[in-house]
Amino acid sequence: MSDKETKKQEILDAAKFRHATKQFDPNQTIPEDDFKFILEVGRLSPSSFGFEPWRFVVVQNPELRQKIKDTAWGAYGKLPDASHFVIFLARTRKDTQYDSEYLQDHFKNVKQLPDDFLEKYLSRIEEFQKEDFELLEGKRPLYDWAGKQTYIALSNMMTAAAEIGIDSCPIEGFNMEKMNNLLEEEGLLEDGSFGISVMCAFGYRAQEQPEKSRRSLDDVVKWV
């Protein structure tokens, strides 16, 4: 088997291994270098226009974990047994609108775009936000759009974890207002720059998972 075929099989095996793990083994902890690898995969994930409109909050503090468990019904069975627990924050309109201070700094100092190109690039983003996707009506559209980007990082991190034998479970089971209030009280939202998008527990399954079931490839793929 060629190196490419071997790698393809490894990726497929990881996809079959990955399950939304409902119960984690509290006696197993992910090695520090393995979790740094997972976080680095998330950091390197793509985002629309290269905004990187996310923050990954790794919650290891037992007291905060208990507060999250009591607030987010979807996390109740995962905490405190998950080895690592990540809250994916999305940047709000304050930081993602075309003329925000965050984007000016991000593209000038992180992406290091030249000034003449930066002006044109932000103009294109303005057109995209105003006309192409109509994201400027109210506070939620840009926030939800940024949340979509966090799911790219989430997916990559779960896949990377599965490839090295680590389990995960994405979590949307929470009231957004209550969770944002909790995170604001904990000083994690930076005066409205962030809001919660999704959460994910990582660790090792406490029991074997059933064989994965999916619709057939012919059913989910259409060639035209």
- The rounded distance, in Å, linking the Cα atoms of 102 and 100 is 5
pLDDT digits (tens, 9 = 90+) for 41-97: 999 999 999 999 999 999 999 999 999 999 999 999 999 899 999 999 999 999 999
Confidence class of residue 209 from pLDDT cuts 50, 70 and 90?
Answer: confident
In the Cβ-directed half-sphere of 222, how many Cα atoms lie within 13 Å? 1
pLDDT digits (tens, 9 = 90+) for 102-116: 999 999 999 999 999
pLDDT digits (tens, 9 = 90+) for 141-172: 999 999 999 999 999 999 999 999 999 999 99
pTM for the full model?
A: 0.96
Confidence class of residue 174 from pLDDT cuts 50, 70 and 90?
Answer: very high
Per-position DSSP letters for the chain, written without gaps between them: --HHHHHHHHHHHHHHH--B-SSB-TT----HHHHHHHHHHHHT---GGG---EEEEE---HHHHHHHHHH-GGGTTTTTTSSEEEEEEEE-HHHHSTT-HHHHHIIIIIS---HHHHHHHHHHHHHIIIIIS---SSSHHHHHHHHHHHHHHHHHHHHHHHHTT-EEEEE--S-HHHHHHHHHHTT-STTTTEEEEEEEEEE-BSSPPPPP----HHHH----
Task: Report whether pLDDT(1) > 90.
Answer: no
- The rounded distance, in Å, linking the Cα atoms of 11 and 163 is 7
